Structure 1
Amino acid sequence: MMAHTTFSYYTGYTYNPVFLETHGRNPLSYFFYNGSVIVQTFVIVSSFLLSYNLLLHVDKNPKKVLGLSMLPRSLMHRLSRIVPLYLFVLGLASTWWSHANDGALWTPLVEAEVARCRHKFWTQALFINNLYEPNTLCLIQTWFLAVDMQLYIVAAVLTLLLGRWPRLALKLFGAMFLASVAGIFAISYKWSLFSILYSMTPEVIRMQLTNQDSFNYLYTAPWGSLPASLMGLFLAFLHYDLEKRGFKANEHRWLVIAYRLSVPSMFLWVFAGLLFQQFTSPEAKAIFTALDRPVFVVLVSTALFGFCNKIDELWWKFLSWRGFMILGRMSLSVLLFHWSYNLSIMGGRLIAAQASVLEIGGDWMAVIFLTYVTAVPATLLVEYPLQRTLQAVFG
């Protein structure tokens, strides 16, 4: 929400555009320019939970054997979780949203987005909006749902095929992870598709990354997030196998050290863009593009492994706070609604915006408040009951 609030300021009129053009020199701004790599955390967790839960499900039901016959049920479980609320928000974005306000920027920002959502409604509903007419963006953040669904299918198939041989699966997932990194390097170098860090100029952001091949064919493409999905599978099989063998992570000092270094290293890796941005040769840019997400994925997975094995009791207790469970349960609603508020605030302005840390921060706080106020009834009245109904019908 913070990144998209800043993003929205580039799309409107400001009294002081020089602020937006020069604030990228501030090192803290790299969390805006290069912080989008954090999204890979959700891909890891999605694949990890899918795979680990399938393995546990078979353990609790000895008569069941992992196989592709379980794929339809696994997909229906995922679809029932996402589709009801997703279609509800798409419906609002394609219809009533355009009538919520008016103003000089309302037509080029909000009504133009509504028109794109009407045009691409069916592609959004089928989770192929990142592949079909990628330059036509409806609710820009929903690229993640498409990628997540596409990789969910891949992760489910791999788990169901390899679940009976966890040791073999670990070797294959490791090999596929390295192959996917090499593939991203080849794609990047061959077709000059580089990390989004190299595309984040004021002019490109103002046009909402339209006609940016790196954004369309790498950043929002499923192969760009494939390493994260494979690492999630690797972590699930590893944790499952070690858990059955009674492995105690606390007894291995090197694991404890790696875990404690993982979280600060995530932030340091985001800042690594400061260094790599200085190298502009195609080879250097392709190397950073190939390593950017995978390195972050490895660091996140190390931290997640530590959390799962309770290496640090303090962090375990903190992250197990029930308040996080409530906020996490509304994560889909928050993901789907916040961009509409970002554009509505900017599109409804009657005067040019004053770009500053305080102004952007104020809008960010407003978006957080409005999003969560909306997320509560959306979760309780739309998402949760429809999800339970569909899961009861389809088992």
Structure 2
Amino acid sequence: MAVLIHEKRVLVLDASTKIPSGIFTGNIVDLGMFDECLSVSEIVEETVIRGRHCMYSFKVRNLPASITFSICLPSSCDAQDVKFIYEKVKNNSIDKNGAENWKIDAFDATCSSVDREISVGTIITMLWFQTWGSLYVFLAAFAVDTFFLISGFLMTYLVLKEMSNGKKFNIFLYYIHRYIRLTPVVGMLLLITIFILPHLGSGPIWEKSLKNILSGTCEQKWWTLLVYVQNYVRTDIECLGHTWYLAADMHFYWISPIILIPLMKKPKLGLAILGSLVIASLISVGTMVAVNGYISTLYSNSAPVSVIKDSFRFFYTVSHTRASSWLIGIYLGYIIHSNPAKLSKTSVFYGWLGAIGCFIFCIMGQRVCLEESYKYNLTFETTFAMFSRPMWAIGVAWVVFASIYGYGGYVTEIMSLPIFLPLSRISFCIYIVHATLQIAKVNTTRTADYFSEFQMSDWSRFDFLHVLSEFFEKHFADQERNPLEARIFRQVSLWCRKGIPQGINKPVSMTLDRRPNKIDEREGCQSLVAWHIVALSKNDATVLACHLRLDIRV
């Protein structure tokens, strides 16, 4: 530092963190000035002296979360030098008297690469989590249960339909088709994350994110994603963490024949197996929460960060705790396949009343956990964990059932708006790439941001997400490029030229029943076939419909 001329020394000091105001109200992250630090470059005695931006974090016992600050050092320094400076300061300046409540429990440091540009994080005050305005963010966790429900529903209905039409169930093709349907997209995202993404970003916390949640961890864990065991194996490190859903869905797919085959051949046995698995899933959830003290939601105001992390890792993402929604989807598919009798107006009323009650239970339970005054209650957490997800699934199942059989009214009309059709075409690949893009954006920030609710809806990413998702969809998830799917498409074309086979029923597509004057025979044929194809994933039917340029109304 001493060899730097005065102007450069000032830049080094100016780029480093000074103690910010508002630490006790959540302003506990300061990134310094990354670009200013890297702009330091001076030749002294034929040696190039450059600035290097380092971040250090420490946990103060009296504060709820770690404090993260920055320091600008010469490029010859590294994270070990930062830790050495910390030890010197700690040993020489802390007054032992009365310092126990302010003891530092953990210290960590990372330094940016000298040869690249740099990035930023966002200061999010925990106080916002306690407001009603944050509720929609945490309710998004129930969207996963919606996907599980739809996955189980589509899989069951379409397989039972094929089997009832005399087609033999080929378990080998059943598994292979699913694996080929999902894996190319996951494999390509892994390649981009490991080999390309490290060269696209930079910033104060970029190197740390690469090491801990992106390319660094994926180099160790990539194989678990390709065999879909990432939510059970090497859970101590995170690689494309959002893909735990694909692993869980694949696990459900593996065990589905033990339910589907009995449902077709011996329905009572199949329903007994299904009910037993639902009960087992509920007991598993309750036991894990009661024994380990996990939280029932993604976030709880009463839980320390360590408990929130453990709950996500060992409880939220594992397959056996998420099975209830998928199993309810199987039951819904069986009911739809069985063509139930027409319901009375009273039954429909109570059906909607029950669905609304299920949604209110889930929404208010989540809100309770966000209250500032809430204290961890084992009975409440266990009860809410056991019943919130299946109740949400039951509510969504009623919406699907009511929409198919004409009991949905305005709800069905809104959900059938054509505006949703283009989004359905890229929904799967948006899910695949969105988290990586969000993580990269956050970790390439250069200066601290002041949090606002407006920033929670950042539309600047949408166009790029759309382009990237279209690329993945067309080249790695496009069903027309899959040989198995190509055979199905040829059959579709044949049916639509020669007319609808007698074995296909109409109740699945309510479009034909409610708008007979607006749809010709060819369009009706395509709509029916789109719902009878064995696509077997949460969005395969909608993707197929979009490739056929259909307007499916369910």
Shift of residue 27, structure 1, vs aligned partner: 1.7
SS class of match (2:294):
coil
Structure in which a larger fraction of residues adopt strand: 2
1:346 is aligned, of 428, 436, 442, to: 442
Structure in which a larger fraction of residues adopt helix: 1
Alignment: residue pair count: 371
Structure 2 residue aligned with 1:269: 362
1:39 alignment partner AA? V
Looking at structure 1, the residues matched to 398 and 456 of structure 2 have their Cα atoms a distance apart, in angstroms, of 34
1:213 alignment partner AA? D
Structure 1 residue aligned with 2:388: 292
Shift of residue 193, structure 1, vs aligned partner: 3.0
2:131 alignment partner AA? N
Shift of residue 203, structure 1, vs aligned partner: 7.2
Residue 352 of structure 2 corresponds to residue 259 of structure 1? yes
1:49 is aligned, of 154, 161, 182, to: 154
Structure-2 change in CA distance of 1:369 and 1:296 (3 Å): same
Shift of residue 261, structure 1, vs aligned partner: 5.5
Q: Which segments of structure 1 move beyond 6 Å, counting only runs of 4 or more?
A: 9-12, 200-203
1:318 is aligned, of 411, 414, 417, to: 414
2:314 is aligned, of 204, 207, 217, to: 217
Residue 212 of structure 2 corresponds to residue 131 of structure 1? no
Deviation per CA, 1:273-294: give whole Å up to 9, x if none. 2336636232332122112212
Structure 1 residue aligned with 2:131: 26
Structure 2 residue aligned with 1:161: 262
Looking at structure 2, the residues matched to 218 and 386 of structure 1 have their Cα atoms a distance apart, in angstroms, of 37
Correspondences of 1:173-322 after superposition (within 5 Å): 173-198=274-299, 204=305, 212-241=309-338, 243=339, 247-249=341-343, 251-259=344-352, 262=355, 265-266=358-359, 269-275=362-368, 278=374, 280-322=376-418
SS class of match (2:290):
helix
Shift of residue 78, structure 1, vs aligned partner: 1.6
2:464 is aligned, of 364, 370, 383, to: 370
Structure 2 residue aligned with 1:147: 248
| Aligned 8 A contact 2:224 2:233 in 1 | yes
Over the matched positions of the two proteins, sequence identity in percent amounts to: 19
Looking at structure 1, the residues matched to 28 and 183 of structure 2 have their Cα atoms a distance apart, in angstroms, of 31
Deviation per CA, 1:76-126: give whole Å up to 9, x if none. 222222111111111111110111121212111245411111211100111
| Aligned 8 A contact 1:232 1:301 in 2 | yes
Higher RCO structure, 1 or 2 (CA under 8 Å, sep 6+): 1
2:465 alignment partner AA? T
TM-score (norm 1): 0.83
| Aligned 8 A contact 1:98 1:111 in 2 | no
1:81 alignment partner AA? R
Structure-2 change in CA distance of 1:44 and 1:332 (3 Å): same
| Aligned 8 A contact 1:338 1:367 in 2 | no
Shift of residue 155, structure 1, vs aligned partner: 2.2
Structure-2 change in CA distance of 1:11 and 1:143 (3 Å): farther
Looking at structure 1, the residues matched to 437 and 29 of structure 2 have their Cα atoms a distance apart, in angstroms, of 14
Structure-2 change in CA distance of 1:136 and 1:27 (3 Å): same
Looking at structure 2, the residues matched to 94 and 11 of structure 1 have their Cα atoms a distance apart, in angstroms, of 28
Shift of residue 75, structure 1, vs aligned partner: 1.5
Structure-2 change in CA distance of 1:12 and 1:369 (3 Å): farther
Deviation per CA, 1:318-364: give whole Å up to 9, x if none. 33344423322312210111112212221222211221112333xx3
Any gaps of 5 or more consecutive residues in structure 1? 1-8
TM-score (norm 2): 0.61
1:104 is aligned, of 204, 214, 217, to: 204
In terms of mean alpha carbon deviation, does 366-375 or 195-204 score higher?
Answer: 195-204
Looking at structure 2, the residues matched to 262 and 10 of structure 1 have their Cα atoms a distance apart, in angstroms, of 42
2:473 is aligned, of 379, 390, 393, to: 379
Shift of residue 272, structure 1, vs aligned partner: 2.0
